[in-house]
Amino acid sequence: MSCFSSADESAHYGFSVCMLLEQYRGPLKWDEQGVVELGTGDATAIADVVSSLPELRIRSYDISAPSVAQARENIAARGVADRYTVELGDFFDQADAAGGAPVSTVISNPPYIPAPDRDILMPELWGGVRGNDLVLQLLKCGYDNVIAAVASYSDPETTVRTAEDHGYRVANFLAVGLDFGPYSNEPKVRDHIRRLCAAGHGWADEDGYMVAVALFTRTPDIPGNRADQLLRALQL
């Protein structure tokens, strides 16, 4: 088992999380409550966010022991270990919104590779048959605010409509185009992505796809709904 790393995707994720947290600082209440995170990865992007926002505290969970070890090293190297902690384990078992101190905001760049099964180059990146299993599960956990990455080839319309069914609006988002990497370019995965897109469950071209980091919110103090704009940005 190894640690996933993608410089372009991580940079976009970190920048987007930072911007959304800063823009909606008041209603998200993260300076009072802190934030929880599903999936730490190598932690570099979010450690930089924590470094730039001195009031931010994050409690993160990851199921990969190598990722947790690498994340803790990277967090310590940036001097934010007192405000960014990582635990090895299943987020949904340990950080459910129903238990512990109240936290209204969760962030995640969840695994979103779609494939028929987990037998792919890096099984930890498997997001289910349509790639959105983890984000759908996260939207059902009860947090008022979910900041999550949404990939254009991972059935984003179902993700947005499920969010709406649970009372969420898309307050804002940042989208970027990404080239296919070694994991989405694996023949088994790429063929599956083509089938999904042909069936109307996503978008990708011959070279790449879109990823947006979106703020799904149920907080009344955050106005607006950009759900349709998000889907258009993802080429839907």
pLDDT over 90 (residue 57): yes
Closest CA to 26 of 55, 4, 1: 55
Q: Which amino acid is at 54?
A: P
Distances (CA, A) of 230 to 34, 39, 86, 103, 120: 27, 23, 31, 26, 29
**Domains recognised in the chain with CATH numbers:** 7-233 (3.40.50.150)
pLDDT over 90 (residue 59): yes
Structure confidence at residue 100 (pLDDT):
53
Structure confidence at residue 4 (pLDDT):
44
Give residue 96's pLDDT band: very low, low, confident or very high (50, 70, 90): low
Structure confidence at residue 1 (pLDDT):
35
Structure confidence at residue 229 (pLDDT):
98
Mean pLDDT, the chain, integer: 93
pLDDT tens-place string over residues 9-36: 889 999 999 999 999 999 999 999 999 9
Structure confidence at residue 93 (pLDDT):
86
Structure confidence at residue 2 (pLDDT):
40
Q: Which residues neighbour 199 within 8 Å (Cβ) at sequence distance 6 or greater?
A: none
Neighbouring CB atoms inside 10 A of 170's CB total 22
If you compute the radius of gyration of the chain from its CA atoms, what whole number of angstroms results? 17
pLDDT tens-place string over residues 118-164: 999 999 899 999 999 999 999 999 999 999 999 999 999 999 999 99
pLDDT tens-place string over residues 167-182: 999 999 999 999 999 9
pLDDT tens-place string over residues 66-83: 999 999 999 999 999 999
Provide the 8-state DSSP code for 123.
Answer: G
Q: Which residues neighbour 155 within 8 Å (Cβ) at sequence distance 6 or greater?
A: 114, 130, 131, 132, 196, 201, 202
Give residue 6's pLDDT band: very low, low, confident or very high (50, 70, 90): low
CB of 192 within 8 A of CB of 114?
yes
Furthest-apart CA atoms within the chain: distance in Å: 47
Proportion of the chain above pLDDT 70, given as a percent: 94
How far does CA 232 lie from the centroid of its chain?
Answer: 19
Pairwise pLDDT comparison (3 vs 210), residue with the higher score: 210
Query: How many residues make up the chain in this entry?
Result: 236
Pairwise pLDDT comparison (99 vs 197), residue with the higher score: 197
- Its pTM stands at 0.94
